[in-house]
């Protein structure tokens, strides 16, 4: 069974950092690009970042560029999101999603259940 399980969310003060993880199973992880997508409470989906299979191609939404860093460890079938200088507007449920063969290749075919990040003092 293809599965993505996110972890690492929680309550954090503005300006602090948090690292999210996504454990993948049930498919050949290093064949696919991976993405982070977030959803603020009561709002729509927002693509955050994507990374190609070999980490050679990486992209970020303008809203997180310079503050967030995506990475992956194919040996551990894991995806990460390092979030620095967190702001209240980063409060959201963060989903890990399996992409296509390249970072530009939608769809986002498989989604995890998400991990909640709350930025508040």
Site residues for other proteins per CB under 8 A = 35, 37, 44-47, 50, 59-62, 95, 104-114
Q: Is 4 exposed, middle or buried (0-12, 13-18, 19+ CB in 10 A)?
A: buried
13 or 102: CB nearest other proteins: 102
Q: How far is the CB of 111 from other proteins (least distance, A)?
A: 4
- Distance between CA atoms of residues 65 and 53, nearest Å: 20
CA atoms within 13 A on the CB side of 46: 18
15 or 55: CB nearest other proteins: 55
Only one residue has tokens 């303008």, namely: 62
Q: How far is the CB of 61 from other proteins (least distance, A)?
A: 6
Q: How far is the CB of 40 from other proteins (least distance, A)?
A: 12
Secondary structure of 88-112 in HEC code, one letter for each residue: HHHCEEEEEEECCCCCCCCCCCEEC
12 or 93: CB nearest other proteins: 93
**Between β-strands 10-12 and 115-119, what pairing exists: parallel, antiparallel or unpaired?**
parallel
82 or 100: CB nearest other proteins: 100
Q: How far is the CB of 91 from other proteins (least distance, A)?
A: 18
């Amino acid at each position: 069974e293809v599965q993505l399980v996110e972890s690492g969310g929680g309550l954090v003060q503005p300006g602090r950092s948090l690292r999210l993880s996504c454990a993948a199973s049930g498919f050949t992880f290093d064949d696919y690009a991976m993405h982070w997508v977030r959803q603020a409470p009561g709002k729509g989906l927002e693509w955050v970042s994507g990374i190609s299979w070999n980490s050679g191609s990486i992209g970020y939404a303008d809203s997180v560029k310079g503050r967030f860093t995506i990475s992956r460890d194919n040996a551990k079938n894991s995806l990460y999101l390092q979030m620095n200088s967190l702001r209240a507007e980063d409060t959201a449920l963060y989903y890990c999603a399996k992409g296509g063969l390249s970072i530009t290749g939608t769809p986002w075919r498989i989604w995890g259940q998400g991990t909640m990040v709350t930025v508040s003092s």
